Amino acid sequence: MRLSQIADAVSGGLEGEDLEISGINTLTDAEPGQISFLSNPIYKKFLAGTKASAVIVDRKQTSIDRPVIRTDNPYHATLKVVKLFYPEPEPIIEGVHPSAVIASSADIGRNVGIAAGAVIGENVVIGDSTAIGANAVIESGSVIGSNTRIHAGVIVRHSVKIGDRVIIHPGAVIGAEGFGFAPIEGHFQKIPQVGTVIIEDDADIGANTCIDRAFLGATRIGKGVKLDNLIQIAHNVEIGDNTVIAAQTGIAGSTRIGKGVMMGGQVGITGHIEISDGIQIGAQSGVSKNFPPGTTIFGYPARPIMETKRIEASLKRLPELLRQVADLKKSVNALIKD
């Protein structure tokens, strides 16, 4: 592909020679023949040393010693170029591998790919054009929509519902029994977890993330929700549409997360509370109560972010403050004795 073609595709302006370009890569990893990009200014330091033959830059970037494509938004332009070079970013699973084990009562749609070693239980329903990765397990009675991708090693337990265009990354566990025990005379008796999990359309579930089935009713992951890796979603949690949660966050039982919420990594949310729509939660926060819709909160315990930042700034001065107050006490005592 020529630079001029790329410039056209991203509505950008080419400055320099119209080279043949073989691919796209980061500034540090690009090789001669590839194009790179500068969208986040903190990577400007890598511009001089890149081996890329051309770079996508914004309108203000000064010229460099090789061709550039200037655009209003280098990030969006880069995404377009990625799709030019990788129209199909993931390998396709085609057909049903003979080593897959599929119950005779399963209802498998058209154009479904099932990779080696996958196990599909009794009465499972799989929609058209869905793919199941190698050694994944779909237990009895679960229903999976169309154009969904269940990656290798995923475990979907029984009677779970997964929508269309959902992606579940390797090792995720959907529908394990919730953590429910009733204390009976010093030990804990298991509470049967007879509910289910419902994952709605266009959700994305990260690698080794766990979504437990409900005690009764359903643990519910809304439309377009994006969960990163190693997240814990306890029983009866509900997550509103288009909420995005970063890795290693945990949400305790029966909590309801609103729509369009954004959480950083390693956040913990206590059980049986509500989180309003559009709340943003900083990484590693501990949240045990709700805030107004759209609030940005942060800290352990989580507070509105400006309050946490003021406290943090004050904390640094706390040891000195203790000394100042001790000095003040002496001065005041001396004044009183005068």
What is the footprint of a copy of itself within residues 124-153 (CB under 8 A)?
Answer: 133-135, 137, 139-141, 151-153
Of 110 and 323, the one with the shorter C-beta distance to a copy of itself is 323
Q: Which stretch binds a copy of itself (CB under 8 A): 2-10, 11-19, 105-113, 116-124?
A: 116-124
Is there a catalytic annotation at residue 158?
no
295 in contact with a copy of itself (CB under 8 A): no
Chain positions 231 to 270 lying near a copy of itself, rule: CB under 8 A, are: 232, 234, 236, 241-242, 244, 246-248, 250, 252, 260, 265-266, 268, 270
163 in contact with a copy of itself (CB under 8 A): no
Q: Show the site string, 73-112: x = touches a copy of itself by CB under 8 A, - = not.
A: --xx--x--xx-xx--xxx-----x-x-x-----------
C-alpha to C-alpha distance for 314 and 214, rounded to whole angstroms: 43
- The DSSP code for 43 is G
Q: Which stretch binds a copy of itself (CB under 8 A): 1-9, 55-63, 105-113, 215-223?
A: 215-223
Sheet containing strand 226-227, edge to edge, reads 113-114, 131-132, 149-150, 167-168, 204-205, 226-227, 244-245, 262-263, 280-281, 296-298, 303-304
C-alpha to C-alpha distance for 38 and 320, rounded to whole angstroms: 44
Q: Tokens 């904390």 correspond to what residue? A: 315
Name which position in 130, 212, 240, 281 contacts a copy of itself (CB under 8 A): 212
* Shortest distance, position 111 Cβ to a copy of itself, whole Å: 20
* Shortest distance, position 186 Cβ to a copy of itself, whole Å: 6
Sheet containing strand 250-251, edge to edge, reads 101-102, 119-120, 137-138, 155-156, 173-176, 210-212, 232-233, 250-251, 268-269, 286-287
Name which position in 8, 29, 94, 107 contacts a copy of itself (CB under 8 A): 29
C-alpha to C-alpha distance for 126 and 162, rounded to whole angstroms: 9
* Shortest distance, position 334 Cβ to a copy of itself, whole Å: 8
1 in contact with a copy of itself (CB under 8 A): no
C-alpha to C-alpha distance for 245 and 266, rounded to whole angstroms: 9
Secondary-structure breakdown of the chain: helix, strand, coil percentages, each rounded to the nearest 5:
15, 30, 55
30 in contact with a copy of itself (CB under 8 A): yes
Please return the burial class of 271, using the count of CB atoms within 10 Å of its CB with bins 0-12, 13-18 and 19+.
middle
Cα torsion angle, 86, 87, 88, 89, sign: positive
Name which position in 169, 239, 275, 279 contacts a copy of itself (CB under 8 A): 169
Q: Rounded to whole angstroms, what are the CA distances from 74 to 36, 38, 69, 86, 131?
A: 10, 7, 9, 18, 33
Q: How many residues of this chain interact with a copy of itself, rule: CB under 8 A?
A: 119
Tokens of 256: 């309801």
Of 19 and 37, the one with the shorter C-beta distance to a copy of itself is 37
Of 63 and 95, the one with the shorter C-beta distance to a copy of itself is 95
280 in contact with a copy of itself (CB under 8 A): no
Instruction: Give me the active site residues, please.
Output: 235
